[in-house]
Amino acid sequence: MATFEQRPNGAWRTKIRRKGYPTLSATFDTKAEAQRWAAEIEGDMSRARFVDMREAESTTLSEALDRYSREVSSAKKGAKQEGTRINKWKLHKLAGKGLAAIRSSDLAAYRDEELKAGKSTATVKLDLAVISHLYTVAIKDWGIEGLSNPVAKLRMPKGSKERDRRPTAKELKDVIKAAGEIHAEMPAIIEIAVETAMRRGELLTLRRENVKAKHALLEDTKNGTRRLVPLSMRARTLLESLPARIDGKVFSLAPHSVSQYFHKACNAVSVEDLHFHDLRHEGTSRLFEKGLSIMEVASITGHKTMSMLKRYTHLCPDALADKLG
C-alpha cells in the first residue's frame, strides 16, 4: 500500500510497499500528484503490468555510454572513430538525462541542430546509430527494464547524393606525380588502390607473406571475413618493386597519413573534390568496364549486397557506348 508524508519543505513523499515488488518511493510538489503516481503504480501491480523503471531512470546517458564504450565499442574495428562520437555525446546536454527520460523529440532536436550547423546527413546518421545501438544493448544484453529505443521512432535525414566522382586519366596522373614528391610510397598506394579496389585499411595492413603470385590474401577486412583479391599484372609489378620491410608489412604509412598526403597532392595540382576512397569507387567501376559480372566484382571488392555495390558503380558512358556498337 502507499503512504504519504509531507516534507519540511512542503513537498510530498510517497512510498509504496507491496509483497513481491520492490519498495518504491518518489517526491512530488503536491499531494494530488503523489496520489496520482501511487494509483498508477499500484494499478499496474494489480494487473501484473508493473515494470521496475528505477534502473532505466537512474542510469544517465553518460554512464551508459561509458559502459557501452568498455563492453561493446572497444571490440569494434572502428572503435577509435566510434569513441570520438561517444565523447561528443558525453558533452551534449542529453548526457545527464536518464535513459528512460530521453525521447525521440530530444533526438529530433539534435538531428535538426546538427544539420542546421552544416553537418552532413551521413555524420548525423552515424551519431544517432551509436545511441540506437546503445539502447539495443541496454535492453537485450543489460536487461534494463522499461526502455524503448527512441531512435527507432525517429525520422532519419535523407541521405546526401551518392558520390559519382571519378578522376580523369590526366587528374590521376597528376595526383600520382604530386603524391610521389610527398612520400615515396604514395604512387604505388594510389595505383594499387585503383587496380584492386581495396579499401584504404585493407591495403595498408597488407603483409608481404599474404601477397601471392597472382592474388593477395586479406586476413582482416571491414566485413570481418577473409578475402582473396586477384592482382593485375600492373598491381603485381608495383608490389614487386617495393622494398621488403623488417616488420613484414608492405607499406609503412598509417591510414590517416595516406588520406592527408592524398589531399595535399590533389591541392598541389588543383584537382578538386577527389577523396582517397573515390579510388575504390574508380577501381570497382573499372572492373565492370572490363566485362566482369556482378558476382565476380563482389568477390573481389567484398561488398555484401548488390545495393552496396551499386553505390560505387558509375560506369563510363563512353565505354558503354562502345559496347553498343
Which residues form the catalytic set?
199, 222, 277, 280, 303, 312
Q: How far apart are CA 212 and CA 217, in angstroms?
A: 8
First CA to last CA distance, the chain: 86
C-alpha cell at 138: 541496454
Q: Write out the E strands in the chain.
A: 2-6, 12-16, 24-28, 215-218, 227-230
Compute CA distances 148 → 48, 53, 72, 118, whole Å: 19, 12, 19, 30
Place of cell 578538386: 272
The strands making up 12-16's β-sheet, listed across from edge to edge, are 2-6, 12-16, 24-28
Compute CA distances 241 → 183, 202, 217, 237, whole Å: 15, 19, 19, 6
Alpha-carbon dihedral of residues 44, 49, 50, 53, nearest 10 degrees? -120
CB count within 10 Å of CB 3 equals 11
Burial 131-145 (b: 16+ CB within 10 A, else e): bbbbbebbbeebebe
Q: How far apart are CA 288 and CA 277, in angstroms?
A: 18
